Structure formats: structure tokens, C-alpha cells
Amino acid sequence: MICPKCKAEDTKVIDSRDTEQGRVIRRRRECEKCGRRFTTFERAEMSSLMVKKKDGTFEPYNRTKLENGIYIACGKRPVTRVQIDEMINELEEKWGTNKKMVTSQTIGNDVTEALKKLDHIAYIRFASVYRSFKDVDEFKEELNKLLK
């Protein structure tokens, strides 16, 4: 691991502990050159999971891409990073269980449903982009469903 301060490659692990119910390992490290301490997080990569897009093409699953979309939807809302991470972890477990492929439609629907439970405004924001509402009437229809 490279030191973020001096860019030295020699660092040592001072402390390790499980976080997020054992899904992530948090490590405290110390640079052997400058003595700076910093934290890293290690999680299992879901690189073998492929996403089938609407046009029929495939691409590797990208957690960062999904996180960015969710963070935008949750902007200035009372939703914490921890809540978003937990939501994505649960969804990744669902998608990755005995599967090598998941459709973008499944991802979009699952995220939309999870956001509906987490924050209604974030849900509407995400759904408006994901479902590509054609006009105000479609948007109103979705709002009416939410209000019932």
C-alpha cells in the first residue's frame, strides 16, 4: 500500500478489524518512511458479475458507477453513507448469489425499491432518471402511486 503523504511503498498494518458485518476489513497502516498513519478498507471484488444492458451488450459490474448514481439521488437528503453502503451490500449479495450475470433492469428495479424504503425524495430522483419519464403525466402517476 502506498503512503498518501510521501508515496513510499513500505507500510505496515497496525490494526485490522471487520466492519459492515464482516464484509469489509478496516486496516490501520503506518508508513515506515514518514510515520504517517492512515486507514484502508478491503472488500471482496464482484468482478466476475456481468451486467446485461438494455441493448444486449455486457459489461463488468461497477460498484462505483452505482454508488455515484445513488449519491446524486440522495444529495442533500438525510441519508448517510453508511445507509447507502449497507443498501448496496445487501443488493450485491442478492445479485451475486450463484449468478454470473444480472440485468441492468434488475439492478435499476432493485435500487429503486430499496430507495423507496430509505427516502421518498431520493426514490423519485433515481426513478425519474432510471425510468426516463417522458412527460409530467408519467411523473405525476409515479408520485400518486407513492402517495397512496
Sequential pLDDT tens for the chain (148 residues): 899 999 999 999 999 998 877 778 999 999 999 999 999 988 776 668 899 999 999 999 999 999 999 999 999 999 999 999 999 989 998 998 767 899 999 999 999 999 999 999 999 999 888 888 777 888 888 788 777 7
Q: Residue 143 has what pLDDT?
A: 80
How many angstroms separate the Cα of 112 from the Cα of each of 45, 60, 87, 115, 118?
23, 21, 11, 5, 10
DSSP-based three-state secondary structure for 101 = strand
- Tell me the residue type at 28: R
Q: Residue 57 has what pLDDT?
A: 96
DSSP-based three-state secondary structure for 26 = strand
Q: Residue 9 has what pLDDT?
A: 93
Domains of the chain, residue spans? 11-43, 50-147
DSSP-based three-state secondary structure for 130 = helix
Long-range contacts of the stretch 66-73 (C-beta < 8 A, 24+): 66/107, 66/111, 69/111, 69/126, 69/129, 70/111, 70/115, 70/122, 70/126, 72/125, 73/115, 73/122, 73/123, 73/125, 73/126, 73/129
Q: Residue 133 has what pLDDT?
A: 79
Alpha-carbon torsion 146, 73, 43, 57, what sign?
Answer: positive
Q: Residue 41 has what pLDDT?
A: 87
